[in-house]
Amino acid sequence: MENRKVVVVPCSGIGKSLGTVGRVATYKVVERMRPEKTRTVCLALLTMGDNDALKLVRENPCIAVDGCPAQCSRKNIEASMGKLVHGIIVTEVLRKNRSLKPEGIIELNDQGDKLAEIIAKDLSKKADEILRKEK
Partner 1 sequence: MTLATGKVGVICCSGEDLPEGTISRVATRLVLEKLRPEETVTLCLPLFLAGGEDERAFARVFPTIAVDGCSKKCAEAGTRRFSGKPVATIVVSEVMKKYPKLKAKSREKLNSEEMGLAMRVAEEIAEKVDEVLCKTNK
Ranges of beta strands (E only) in the chain are: 6-10, 38-39, 61-66, 83-89
Cβ proximity to partner 1, 15 vs 129, nearer residue: 15
Q: Does 112 bind partner 1 (CB under 8 A)?
A: no
Instruction: Supply φ then ψ for residue 37, to 5 degrees.
Output: -115, -10
Cβ proximity to partner 1, 37 vs 75, nearer residue: 75
> CA-CA distance, 40 to 10, in Å (whole number)?
8
Cβ proximity to partner 1, 78 vs 128, nearer residue: 78
- How many residues sit close enough to partner 1 to count as binding (CB under 8 A)? 33
Q: Could you list the residues that contact partner 1 (CB under 8 A)?
A: 9-15, 19, 23-24, 26-28, 31, 40-45, 47-48, 50, 70-73, 75-76, 79, 105-107
